Structure 1
Amino acid sequence: MTNLTSLRAIALFGAGMALLPASAMAQEVTDDTSAAEAPPVDERNVIIVTTQGRRQALADVPVAISAIDSQTLLNSGANDIRQLNQVAPSLLVSSTGSEANGSARIRGIGTVGDNPGLESSVPVFIDGVYRSRSGIGLNELGEIDRIEVQRGPQGTLGGRNSSAGLISIYSKEPEFDFGATGEVTYGNYDFLRLGGSITGPITDNIAARVDGIFVKRDGFYFDPANNTDVNDRDRYFVRGQLLFEPTDSLSVRLIGDYTYRDEKCCAATYVDGSVNPFIGGLNNPSTPITPLSQNGNNIINVLRDLGQDLGAFSQGYGRTISTTPGRSFAGETKDYGISGQIDWDLGGVNLTSITAYREYRSSQGSDTDYGTVDILYRAPSDDAYRQFHTFTQELRLQGEAFGGSLDWLVGGFFSNEKLTVRDNLRFGNQYGRFANCRIISGGGLAGLYSPNSPLCVAPGVGPATLAGATGASGADIVAAFTALDGLSDLGTTNDRYFQDGTNWALFTHNIVHITDRLDLTLGVRYTNDRKELDATFGNDNTVCTTVQGLLLDDLTTSPNATARALAGSLIGLSCQGNSTAELNGVSISDERTEDEWTGTAILSYKATDDLLLYASFARGYKAGGFNLDRSALKSPIFPFGGQAGTQALVGRLQFDPELVDSYELGAKYATGPFSLSASLFRSEFSNFQLNTFNGTVFLVQNINGCTGDLVGGPDSDTDTSSATGSCAPGDVGYGVTTEGVELEAQMVPAADVRVAAGFTYASTKYRSDLVGNASGAPLDAALRKLPGDNLSNAPEIVATGSVTWTPEIGSSGLSGLVYIDGRMTSDINTGSDLFPQKGQDGFALFNARVGVRGPDEKWSIEFWGQNIFDKDYAQVAFNSPFQAGATSAPFVDPQFPGGRQIFSQFLAEPRTYGVTGRFNF
């Protein structure tokens, strides 16, 4: 699906801009300061970063990093980390079914899926404090000093889980000079944003700062069934700070913040052929209705006949959603905490201590089938949420030795995270009839299909007729169909998962100045991670146990293949996702402990005063854990065997730690108003943690490669069997690689013009022969498209660029603002299973802002637009839950293994525009 013309355009755009341009992503030196007379680093107009635990100029740090300053954030209108995509080409941030679990990717690597048991490969730190999941960074950020995006594993100083990189956000500190800012923004969709801050001294050595933001906006989707908007905004944020500086050598900074959101999120629409040509006729109803065609997409008929509007399957990028009346996407999020940072110069040794305690709680209802037919839902409830209680402590000592030849740093880190997940996912009121119709509409039973009749079977069809069509025991089959037909509003009453995680580490990071121009950086970190899991299930789905009791003998002993397939379908649909009353009141527990060594080695050479060259190796790590989804325990075909039987299966919830070895060559050139950075990189991931929704359940697998022969043949990892394609343990190696080149540049051709650009080529791929864990177990059949292909949401080519022009207007001190930025992205597949129906063609996004600013920028009025050309695209496409044709042979179309699946998509934001007024003094 790759468009070569668009790829060439992207490449030329990125490479050309990277050789011309400029931004606030690299060193900036004032025009009247020559290199020869440049004052000390802290006094020059440069971006200072703390990537290596020390204050350093960005151009002097031998690490791939993008630093975005406050002015760039103002010009771009960035309010949360999603909008950093426009100025950081190797970064992609997206949100899907829940903003609580938004995903960040760097160089194509990230953690996907809405599963709180998986930690992010790209963690977010705010003011040095680790946030439990990257989705927490989707909140409002308040007044920001800078954001650092570090690329590649940060397993030495970056702390836990940063196997792909990290995002560090630094808010503006209190100041000892009085100041205040205010902002009023109004835009389409009745967007209203009010923001303000005030800072100043309380005493001679205590300063304070308070930031506040209120946001309200209509939703981007319309739900006609419930006459409401979805994906709206209704939130506020407040942060207070105290800065205490009793002496020149001691600084204490206290921060407290609170965020509240009361919003409806996140709706989805169906994918059709105009969005993705690989859909073909999949979403078109077959005719005639009866008898159904074995070559048609009979699931469309089932959905239509039970009330789904067919227009929903052909609306392209329309934003009218299909929802069952009474179902809601309403949710509530609270995020708050306190932190304290101490910086103390002890005379040759600098002490830094960061202590924090945070709580995060998010609940979200959903019409989980994303359609009109009432199949699956979560009701908004105080008893259904995910909650993190997190305590972290970091301590660092940094100083010099041997006459300044060694810049050393040692430290320790401790965290305790208590995670609670409570769930109430239930089958909808039409699920039983829908499930029966799925079975009846497939294969040889299609002639019996009657969706408005009991059991979805035509009137007058008795047990003997049904038995004759299936070769099964008539009485038991009819009883099972009858039980399944009555499966309505049953399922989870209150599943509770409690995970207590403790992580501690010791680390050292040392820079050896071999000569005045040659440095060797050596760092190492030892990490201990321990997690304890306790879970208790609540479930009232007695239909599952009833159908199992009726048909287990047919499933296991019947000589008739059709009878066995039908029994498997009836049991599977009755117990979908391990929803069974047999688990009601059952508790399980488990624990896991792991120890890992990570580190880095960097050789850097200052070839000239303006040119830095470096080569580096880094080893990164992301902790293993538990899949907090009971569907991972086992197949729903057979009973669990009560408390003891369920406990015996608990090991199936575990997944192993993700490890990465990364190699990089880089160069940074910075002189006066021009700078350019380049890096070549390659990273190899073992036990890559992949979370995939297969249309029924969430699968979590550790993806590895096989260097030998797969058992079952070279294509046994791409067939439709989950039992073929194993690998000898000694032949298991890394399963994912990302390699490529990055360019970032800036130029200031005139005092009032600034140009910036970035270009990333990243080949982020799975190896050709894949297995599902470190022991060489076969890859799950749902992942059969992965071998040899790119990862999801991993574009090979991304180019970004921005131009800022701030001309003087007359002699009154007024100035103008003209700003535009763009991001061009090559083709991607947005689904973690890489089904072609989830592909997204390459596209370009542009934002713009024009305005007038008063003398010394004391006030401004700006007109702005985001996605100004109103580009439609999907963030993620996925298998519509349960909306596939029959899943057991011979009730399955061989053209579509696994059934004819319907696909849905989470759309990106449309064009928005408005006006912003600001003042500061």
Structure 2
Amino acid sequence: MTTRSHVRVRHALQLSVAVTALALPGALFAQAAATAPAQDTVTQRAQVEDRSVTTEVDDSGIIIVRAQGREQSLADVPIAVNAVSGEELAKSGASDIRELNQVAPSLLVSSTGNEANGSARIRGIGTVGDNPGLESSVAVFVDGVYRSRSGNALSELGPIDRVEILRGPQGTLGGRNSSAGLISIYTAPPEFEFNGYGAFTYGNYDAMKFEGGVNLPVGETLAARVDGVYFKRDGFYNDVVNNVDVNNRDRYLVRGQLLFEPTSALTARLVLDYSEKNEACCAATFVQPEFAPLARVSPGLDGYNRPNIGAPALTSTQNPIIPILLGLGQNPNALTQSTFNRDIYVTPGRSFEGQTKDYGASLEVNYDLGNVELTSITGYREFNNFQGSDTDYTQVDILYRAPADNAGSRQFHTFTQELRLQGSAFNDRLDWLVGGFYANEDLKVQDNLRFGTQYGAFAPCRIINAINPALASPGSTGCISAGGRAVLQGANGGAGAFGPATGLIFAGLDNLANLNDLGGTGDVYNQNSESFAAFTHNIVHLTDRLDLTLGLRYTNETKTFDALLGNDNTICPQNRALLSGLLGVPALAGLAGGLISLSCQGNSTSEIDGLTLNDKRNEEEVTGTAILSYKPTDDLLVYGSYSRGYKGGGFNLDRSGLTGASGAGVIAGPLVAGDVANLQFAQETVNSYEIGAKYGTREFSFGLSAFRQEFSNFQLNTFNGSVFLVQNINACSTDLAGGDRDASDTTGVCDPDDVKYGVVAQGVELESSINPTRYLSFTAGLTYADTTYENNLIGNDNGSPLDPALRLLPNDNLSNAPEITATASASWTPPLGNSGFSGLAYMNVRTVGDYNTGSDLLYGKEQDGFTLVNARLGVRAPDNQYSVEVFAQNLFNVDYTQVAFNTPFVASQQTYSAFLAEPRTYGITVRAGF
């Protein structure tokens, strides 16, 4: 562990001890969301015969889950799982999966440049969500139906029955396989009694939320339920230039359900839902020293990848790119204000407006055939999103997407079918489950990313700064004034600074100056994914107290890809033809290559206009699990397990990932049809080992698990300041002599026979709950997860070198993976005299240690540890006829970032931007029910 890691651990331990001591004196408490059975009528949720959709506290107060496809006490499940009740979620104010962070210490859900790009991590492992070609390492299910990307669940969820978060690889119990874990959300089902509710919330930022629903029995065998949510709120950012707010909320959800129970043996549940968002998202601010101190940020790194202390930092005018931005019209306030000042200065006329539609239907049928139960879950979903953006996040017009139907749009059409049979045999010595899963998904991605109207003024300045910043003149063609040209031309008609090639360099700069409002005219990518899987999960009761669980899964997946590219950037081929001859001249190769790269950045060139691409990949994988569990007493379980997990490979749906005709990228030459090998990435696999113990009674529960997970071909998506890189991460078992830590893309080659896993997640999790009295309950959790890259990293499992942009990864923690996370909650619902009224006092806390928010781990992206507190106070009428509650999220208005990233095209000067997390919100909610 590095010295920096020791600082993180020490800081986070201090925070977690303080929080635990404050909230839960006298004991270790954690995250299992059990409540006292007689606490109030809300926690006494009605049981429904459809066992696949209900989890409740049983008569003894033990929480029941279906994490293994069977009804079990949470304390009897020999896997690491968090179970959070709907009541706990309502108290915490959770309305989408991001807010589960506050009640599940091993989970982190964040979003960045698009509301469709959510990323979920468990134990520090997840997939950066900015590329739709990558599936999530953490699978999300809603009512048993797979959501193909985590971001698809970043909408209002409506009334929730419970959420189960399974940690570690999954796949033998049904549904879609996952390599890091899964989140199962179960919405509140219909009931066979007439009731309804309504709620109105008003809060700061002029937030208004309307919620309502009605449950209606239709005869003895049919029940119907309809729920709706509408939420509108002003944005957290103020676009000073365009006088609009950004990161607002304007969304709604409607969900209708039918529950059909013609006999005690047969139940069927139909769910239809539609949600829509019309919002401007997502703005960013410049990172300043109060977020990333100079000691951690600088333009250069020494030979050991440490910061060069004393170099100009961030947005200082000593940073040569900053005078260029100012000279081209950047408001200086954006460069001097705090990181967390939410005034933003973007290009006039550019917009973050977008729209998201998510809708679908599912049918779940459960049929008891006597000794066998049949379960069928059929789902169809459509998800459509487009989002405009000022993609450089500056007032200078460098890069943009217009808010139209093809502005970074993605469309998912997904059909899934799951069948399970389960039962018992050999006098109940064997609980068996077998099943199959089929998924067919059509994904269409469209993009219109274009260089802005000032790119031609800005890009040549990058070249001039590299030659001599004193010569840069942003207002002059090619960023160089007549006097500067004279200096470089040489006195008295001399050969000039670049010899006979001086004229070619000037011509290249002048060509680059004309690259304005050119680029993508409509790239279209289509991908079809078809997956078949067969699985089995069996519990053998070797004795009354000793169980052996064996699970196996076979998956076959085929992905087909095609694309049609459109581009009008004629400057790229002009400068390539003009300057290619200089690439063989050692003294000029870097300068000529830089000019060509800036002219063709992201494979933007008219040479690919009308180009069609296609490819196909097929993969098979066998995964499984083995668990040995023992109950020395009725209330105590100990277990040990091994699991192998898998997540499919695929295609990078981004033209910047394409290689040139000679394999050397945009500098070498135009692309040719079929040259798409670099778009593919391999499947991600993991070997996971875990031991644990669980103790559970109504009054007290406790869980402890220790884990180690080894990931091969870990799928990493990184923005390097110009383009997105998608690369598999592995390690070499032999020493690469620093070849993975330098700036070369040729050093660090590994013999394929020496390739091993590249990422390890290992640590300990504690979780507990206590219900000391009828109206009082506590929960808390502590996760220590050392989630790190190995030394001697390489790229693909063929032994190819690591991309130089990732040189800081070896032997450091993964991004957004704090080593220490602690959560705690306290809930008190006392009766108020003999009036029948009751009170509510609820608080939860989440504290994390330091971590880096950037997937390339550059120093300016490190987030100090912080603590978040949510609170709710209220009064409830008898039988919850009505209630009034006041609440605060992020009570102490803690400033922190979700992700910091390289500001596009100025990252070579170590200028960063950041997507900020939400500030404090507060308000009042009035509810009524019948």
Q: TM-score range by the shorter chain?
A: over 0.9
C-alpha separation between the residues in 1 aligned to 2:602 and 2:561?
20
3-state DSSP class of the match of 1:597?
Answer: strand
- 1:642-721 alignment runs, 5 A limit: 645-647=672-674, 649-710=675-736, 714-721=737-744
TM-score of the pair, normalised by structure 1: 0.93
User: Which residue identity is paired with 1:428?
Assistant: G
- 1:377-526 alignment runs, 5 A limit: 377-384=400-407, 385-444=409-468, 446-459=469-482, 465=489, 468-526=496-554
The structure 2 residue matched to 1:837, chosen from 860, 864, 870, is 860
C-alpha separation between the residues in 2 aligned to 1:728 and 1:689?
20
For residues 505-561 of structure 1, what are the alpha-carbon distances to aligned partners after superposition, in whole Å with 9 as ceiling and x for unaligned?
Answer: 0001001011111111100000001100001100000000111111111123x35x1
User: Which residue identity is paired with 2:366?
Assistant: D
Question: Per-residue deviation at 1:447?
Answer: 4.2
Residues 1:121 and 1:3: Cα distance change in structure 2 (over 3 Å): closer
C-alpha separation between the residues in 2 aligned to 1:24 and 1:680?
16
The structure 1 residue matched to 2:360, chosen from 317, 337, 358, is 337
3-state DSSP class of the match of 1:544?
Answer: helix
1:363 aligns with 2:407: no
For residues 187-233 of structure 1, what are the alpha-carbon distances to aligned partners after superposition, in whole Å with 9 as ceiling and x for unaligned?
Answer: 00000000011112112111000010000000000101110000000
What is the root-mean-square deviation of aligned Cα atoms in Å?
Answer: 1.8
- The question of whether the paired residues in 1 share the 8 Å contact of 2:272 and 2:360 is answered with yes
Question: Per-residue deviation at 1:158?
Answer: 5.1
The structure 2 residue matched to 1:104, chosen from 117, 120, 127, is 120
- The question of whether the paired residues in 1 share the 8 Å contact of 2:247 and 2:280 is answered with yes
C-alpha separation between the residues in 2 aligned to 1:91 and 1:569?
42
1:638 aligns with 2:667: yes
1:279 aligns with 2:279: no
For residues 745-783 of structure 1, what are the alpha-carbon distances to aligned partners after superposition, in whole Å with 9 as ceiling and x for unaligned?
Answer: 111111111111000001001111110110111111100
| The 10-residue stretch of structure 1 (6-15 or 108-117) with the greater mean CA deviation from structure 2 | 6-15
User: Which residue identity is paired with 1:193?
Assistant: K
1:173 aligns with 2:189: yes
- The question of whether the paired residues in 2 share the 8 Å contact of 1:744 and 1:758 is answered with yes
Question: Per-residue deviation at 1:312?
Answer: 1.4
> Which residue of structure 1 aligns with residue 591 of structure 2?
566
User: Which residue identity is paired with 1:597?
Assistant: V
1:147 aligns with 2:156: no
Question: Per-residue deviation at 1:656?
Answer: 0.4
- The question of whether the paired residues in 1 share the 8 Å contact of 2:297 and 2:910 is answered with no
Pairs aligned (count): 881
> Which residue of structure 2 aligns with residue 607 of structure 1?
632
> Which residue of structure 2 aligns with residue 903 of structure 1?
912
C-alpha separation between the residues in 2 aligned to 1:201 and 1:741?
47
| The 10-residue stretch of structure 1 (154-163 or 269-278) with the greater mean CA deviation from structure 2 | 154-163
> Which residue of structure 1 aligns with residue 923 of structure 2?
914
C-alpha separation between the residues in 1 aligned to 2:780 and 2:25?
5
Residues 1:262 and 1:874: Cα distance change in structure 2 (over 3 Å): same
Residues 1:75 and 1:535: Cα distance change in structure 2 (over 3 Å): same
- 1:38-53 alignment runs, 5 A limit: 43-53=59-69
Question: Per-residue deviation at 1:378?
Answer: 0.4
Residues 1:263 and 1:26: Cα distance change in structure 2 (over 3 Å): closer
> Which residue of structure 1 aligns with residue 329 of structure 2?
307
C-alpha separation between the residues in 1 aligned to 2:593 and 2:630?
65
User: Which residue identity is paired with 2:508?
Assistant: A
3-state DSSP class of the match of 1:468?
Answer: coil
3-state DSSP class of the match of 2:201?
Answer: strand
Residues 1:3 and 1:153: Cα distance change in structure 2 (over 3 Å): closer
C-alpha separation between the residues in 1 aligned to 2:20 and 2:78?
22
> Which residue of structure 2 aligns with residue 554 of structure 1?
582
- The question of whether the paired residues in 2 share the 8 Å contact of 1:364 and 1:380 is answered with yes
Residue ranges of structure 2 left out of the alignment (5+ in a row):
40-55, 299-311
TM-score of the pair, normalised by structure 2: 0.93
- The question of whether the paired residues in 1 share the 8 Å contact of 2:443 and 2:527 is answered with yes
1:69 aligns with 2:95: no
For residues 142-167 of structure 1, what are the alpha-carbon distances to aligned partners after superposition, in whole Å with 9 as ceiling and x for unaligned?
Answer: 11000001101113225434111000
> Which residue of structure 1 aligns with residue 273 of structure 2?
257
3-state DSSP class of the match of 1:808?
Answer: coil
- The question of whether the paired residues in 1 share the 8 Å contact of 2:9 and 2:819 is answered with no
1:10 aligns with 2:32: no
3-state DSSP class of the match of 2:927?
Answer: strand
Residues 1:660 and 1:109: Cα distance change in structure 2 (over 3 Å): same
1:791 aligns with 2:791: no
- The question of whether the paired residues in 1 share the 8 Å contact of 2:641 and 2:690 is answered with yes
> Which residue of structure 2 aligns with residue 268 of structure 1?
284
C-alpha separation between the residues in 2 aligned to 1:24 and 1:629?
40
Residues 1:28 and 1:234: Cα distance change in structure 2 (over 3 Å): closer
- The question of whether the paired residues in 2 share the 8 Å contact of 1:18 and 1:745 is answered with no
Question: Per-residue deviation at 1:314?
Answer: 2.5
The structure 1 residue matched to 2:849, chosen from 818, 826, 832, is 826
The structure 2 residue matched to 1:578, chosen from 598, 603, 612, is 603
- The question of whether the paired residues in 2 share the 8 Å contact of 1:158 and 1:166 is answered with no
Residues 1:5 and 1:516: Cα distance change in structure 2 (over 3 Å): closer
User: Which residue identity is paired with 1:733?
Assistant: K
C-alpha separation between the residues in 2 aligned to 1:717 and 1:408?
47
3-state DSSP class of the match of 1:99?
Answer: coil
3-state DSSP class of the match of 1:441?
Answer: helix
For residues 574-605 of structure 1, what are the alpha-carbon distances to aligned partners after superposition, in whole Å with 9 as ceiling and x for unaligned?
Answer: 00010000000000100000000011111111
C-alpha separation between the residues in 2 aligned to 1:274 and 1:23?
33
For residues 225-248 of structure 1, what are the alpha-carbon distances to aligned partners after superposition, in whole Å with 9 as ceiling and x for unaligned?
Answer: 110000000011000000111111
Residues 1:336 and 1:815: Cα distance change in structure 2 (over 3 Å): same
User: Which residue identity is paired with 2:550?
Assistant: L
3-state DSSP class of the match of 1:545?
Answer: helix
Identity %: 58
Question: Per-residue deviation at 1:46?
Answer: 3.2
Question: Per-residue deviation at 1:636?
Answer: 4.5
C-alpha separation between the residues in 1 aligned to 2:244 and 2:33?
45
C-alpha separation between the residues in 2 aligned to 1:410 and 1:639?
53
- The question of whether the paired residues in 2 share the 8 Å contact of 1:757 and 1:801 is answered with yes
- The question of whether the paired residues in 2 share the 8 Å contact of 1:859 and 1:917 is answered with yes
> Which residue of structure 2 aligns with residue 25 of structure 1?
32
- The question of whether the paired residues in 2 share the 8 Å contact of 1:554 and 1:564 is answered with yes
1:542 aligns with 2:570: yes
C-alpha separation between the residues in 1 aligned to 2:727 and 2:506?
38
3-state DSSP class of the match of 1:53?
Answer: coil
